[in-house]
Chain A
């Protein structure tokens, strides 16, 4: 098992720099998820760690050894691809054994390891089938089996669940998590799905346009987002942002409402409130004109605008609620629900 250290990593394609000074240390046996919207550079970063992309500047070390110039095969890693990348002409067994065969592992050792991995993933009965005879979920298992038999220091996952249907995705997500805990292999997982990221990762690296926005535990990201980007990206539905002016122990929203806060700020700020932290109260400070309701069963999403303006507000209230559309409902943010961001830098004011 191994630690992974990224030191000032940069990647450029010609004059375009797509990753900017990425640094971060991943502990032994840790499960780190790199998350961000499409085009943020998360797959490129993973492929650089795998050795499939060259490093423009900076250093990657795996297990304390700098691997910048080392071939992917010699980095002691295994990778699971989005489209599985199984060899279509080989049986499941041959697919899993191929890497070992090239490394000239003895035959009985290969058989033992393939069977062991097949047992872990419960794919023993498919061992002699070809990949095209398997369903998406089964192929996914084979791709993971191929990673497991290698017994590598690091697992790299490149959006491995995005080709599966929603139900299977949830199931495989749990299995990957359990498997990683059981094997204790340091893992890096790339996804654009924030729910997947929150449930899988010990820590999340949030990437935006090639910059690390925040690298922390899921709870920390949710409770103390370092920037408006993280605040808007983590959590569903996304956080409400309201422009406001800072004051001593309070912020004054543009419609004149004063909201109490523990911070003293000044000048223009952005106040962020998560939809689930808005509580409907007859005396609430935020009057919201209801435009639409989304009934999800367990909770109801109230879409509306701050009364007298066109600032959109989403609130999530528990249970099935039938609020009259076009009426004004008043909400109050719960205690400590207010996140304040600098209006210019969009960074958190702590």
Chain B
């Protein structure tokens, strides 16, 4: 079953065309890699899917529902979670508070949220997720005091809080040291095995992408130039020229 589909997705910044009609489809449970040279529109595509940016044209469907004009809070409640290239946290809140904020809006009504004081279930869930990501020991630290790698992990942890069906990871390994990168990849694999959610990953580390993903989509200058298994992509001429020839 198709979980995400974009058809002819366009985004202009004035005359600059960041996306020139991208068609993307992702099956449930897939792990798709999204690659392309810098400035090829990968992050813009994420922004348009999640509603951070309003697409200039085209449609976004999530589980056959049109979510093109959804705002970020709407798409999150639909079940799309996303991490950021630079970890986006709430610096003056503790790690635990960061995690709790990630789930509260998916539960109950506004009024419930005013009167729900005990949130033991959420706390336990956050704890086990933090343990899973191996940052349980810093749960009472302010997010701003975390190391870069820990911030990345927290960013991921927050997304996992509300059990999203589709997770968009924007360069989860960028700027992370080797051993932590291995760790993160390991976590992503485990997650796939356990929760059966769908991933789209933007990543520059080709080795990881080729290793991890079943299907790869290549963007260049806002257009999809190739799509296929890692082997197909490795031997695709267009891709090679986009990266090396261009």
Answer whether A and B are interacting partners: no
Interface residues of B (CB under 8 A from A): none
